[in-house]
Amino acid sequence: MELKLEHISKSYGKNKALSDFSMTFTPGIYALLGPNGSGKSTLMNIITDNLKADAGDIFFDGENVKKMGVRFREKIGFMPQYPGLYPNFTAREFLFYMATLKDIPKKQMKDVVEEVLSAVELSDVARQKISSFSGGMKQRLALAQATLGDPEIIILDEPTAGLDPKQRISVRNYISSIALKKIVIIATHVVSDIEFIAKDAIILKKGVVIDDASPAVLTKKMEHKVWSLHCRDSEVPFYESRYRVTSISKAENDFVNLRVLSETKPTEVAEILSPTLEDYYLSVFGKLGI
């Protein structure tokens, strides 16, 4: 299975949201990583045919998806960034409704719905109205509907937004458990969401792909560039003015430990650290995505 995007571009007025995006996706988890405004949602809405590109083509196994129409859309499970859920439905009713839209055979429907409810840990509240749900519960319900019917391509736009750390981990585990033999594309600005599950991270900055490699390869680019530095509180502004300081943690008395990105050793007492994907992200974008 292959999903091929060729020279996709999209502008809103003079604002180029996506510039000449080309990529070939095969089964596995891909991350679309970049801060707000980098064009992630624009790309996902184009792939799922919710938005028309200005230019470019998409092919599924060699066939133009424009020609395939419904046949292509049926292969996709999509969790939009701002999912429209029906507040007056219960979670179970909503999933039955979505399963009907997806033409899941009546006989299988109950099993399929119960399975996804359980996978996202919503079985206990399946009879409650969506209007009573917290943000995290709505987010998990939106994820559940994207996976209904075992689609070959799953597109998730910021799937962990609004989740607490424990729910993030469970959503991450769920995504990797269903990803086998599927093309899964996850848009996020949260590095830890994809660091250990994505085979490939596509780094988007202002609509342009600036890097594309496995998290391990991207992380390796930061080797010999991440340092730990022990200094006084009062010295922090000095280091911040010279280096990219990516974290500050309290140490004893009025001392702190800094994590510093630098091509060269920042001071005699600095110690080298193993890099993480977050170091890479911070070196590219300056700050964690908001």
Residue in 5, 39, 75, 142 binding ligand ADP, rule: CB under 6 A: 39
Q: What share of the chain is helix, strand, coil (3-state, %, to 5)?
A: 35, 30, 35
Does 36 engage in binding with ligand ADP (CB under 6 A)?
yes
Closer Cβ to ligand ADP, 15 or 100, answer by number? 15
Report in angstroms the alpha-carbon separations of 250 from 25, 61, 80, 235. Answer: 43, 54, 39, 13
Does 41 engage in binding with ligand ADP (CB under 6 A)?
yes
How far is Cα 290 from Cα 286, in angstroms, rounded to an integer? 12
Which two tokens mark 84?
Answer: 């429209």
DSSP 3-state of 93:
helix
How far is Cα 11 from Cα 21, in angstroms, rounded to an integer? 13
Does 50 engage in binding with ligand ADP (CB under 6 A)?
no
How far is Cα 229 from Cα 120, in angstroms, rounded to an integer? 41
Beta strands in 1-138 (DSSP E): 3-12, 15-25, 28-33, 55-60, 63-64, 76-79
Does 37 engage in binding with ligand ADP (CB under 6 A)?
yes
Closer Cβ to ligand ADP, 41 or 48, answer by number? 41
Closer Cβ to ligand ADP, 17 or 231, answer by number? 17
- 64 φ, ψ (degrees, to nearest 5): -65, 130
Which segment (29-37, 120-128, 243-251, 278-286) binds ligand ADP by CB under 6 A?
A: 29-37
**Residue 168 binds: one of ligand ADP, Mg ion, none (C-beta under 5 to 8 A by kind):** none
Residue in 11, 19, 81, 170 binding Mg ion, rule: CB under 5 A: 81
Closer Cβ to ligand ADP, 24 or 50, answer by number? 50
Residue ranges binding ligand ADP (CB under 6 A): 12, 15, 17, 34, 36-42
Residue ranges binding Mg ion (CB under 5 A): 40-41, 81
